[in-house]
Amino acid sequence: MYICTVKKILLSFVFICLIASSYAQFAGPAGTPGSTAMYRDSSDFIAWATGAQLELGLIDISNEFSGTASSGDINSPIGFPDGNCISLGDSGVAILTFPQPITNGNGPDFAVFENAFSDAFLELAFVEVSSDGINFYRFPAISNTQTATQIGPFDALGDATLLYNLAGKYRSNYGTPFDLEELNGTFGLNVDAITHVKIIDVVGMINGNHVQYDSNGNAVNDPYATAFPSGGFDLDAIGVIHQAPVGIDEANAETITIYPNPAQSNGTIHISAQNEIEWMKLISVQGEEMRLSTNNSISTDNVPSGMYFLEIQTSTGRHSAKIVIR
């Protein structure tokens, strides 16, 4: 009998371990082996959102008189992730737009930044994309977080290894990547011309009238109730990894040469193009216009070292390139 009891205990232990291993199946926090977290200064980012529309949610969705979230403004999620966020409130929505459509390249195509102060205090959001600004399609999100106990407003109980395709699984300054290939073939969506990205706050409650579910039908458990002005998902930025030129007819695409690249601060960048250059702009990663030129060269006088974007308008359309200034 003793042997049987020990055997049952061992089998139970193995079963529990198998359950745990089956749930802890996704990429872990930033800095851990296999993590997909993308640091904000990564050279993979070639553009940032330049426009936003907001539909802020209530401070507490279960109290219709609680008022809407009020931390941040419409400019907060635009440009480089600098910690200046817009708090969406319960089930609040932000729709971000970009200077050029996002395309389906090799690997992740964009990343969403939240401002979590630790690897365990995670406020989450669903992510949807659109190629027409009207019809949106959601990435299949998974939350294997337990649903027996509600995560409270100050509980640091989040676990990135239990989350997939949910924005906010990584701490501040690290973006959660999304790969458009997962939506390839979706009727009504052109994954090579994504013009809008929608971020929808996950309320996080596991009981009540406002439970939200992942693609497997599991309730998504995250901090609730965050009944304060900065409650809900805090959107910092969306970084673009793959993008398409605007207004380019591929049949008439032209070759443009930019030199030198990297360029020197207090120097000059020269551009050679098949067609007449109407204008070009040197733009910072924060979206600030640094220089404007209407000829084939642009000055870098007093431009700090760093990564920039060069937008070039020719008679065939608009082109964009990443450039480094040393």
Cα angle: 152, vertex 178, 23; to 5 degrees: 50
Domains and CATH numbers, the chain: 24-244 (2.60.120.260), 250-325 (2.60.40.1930)
Say whether pTM exceeds 0.75.
no
Kindly list the distances between the CA atom of residue 180 and the CA atoms of 36, 186, 322, in Å, as whole numbers in the listed order: 15, 10, 22
**Average model confidence (pLDDT) for the chain?**
88
pLDDT digits 0-9 by tens, 71-107: 999 999 999 999 999 999 999 999 999 878 999 999 9
Q: Is-contact 230 114, C-beta < 8 A?
A: no
pLDDT digits 0-9 by tens, 153-197: 999 999 999 999 999 999 999 999 999 999 999 999 999 999 999
Residue 150 has what DSSP assignment? Answer: P
Q: Please compute, for residue 216, the number of CA atoms within 13 A of its CA located in the half-sphere on the CB side.
A: 12
pLDDT at 264 over 90: no
> What are the φ/ψ torsions at residue 181 (nearest 5 degrees)?
-60, -25
Residue 230 has what DSSP assignment? Answer: T
Counting DSSP H helices and E strands in the chain, the numbers are: 1, 20
pLDDT digits 0-9 by tens, 8-65: 444 344 333 434 444 559 999 999 999 999 999 999 998 999 899 999 999 999 999 9
- Measure the CA–CA gap between 14 and 18, rounded to whole angstroms: 6
Kindly list the distances between the CA atom of residue 269 and the CA atoms of 305, 306, 310, in Å, as whole numbers in the listed order: 14, 15, 10
pLDDT at 125 over 60: yes
- Measure the CA–CA gap between 109 and 126, rounded to whole angstroms: 16
**Alpha helices, DSSP H, located in the chain:** 2-23
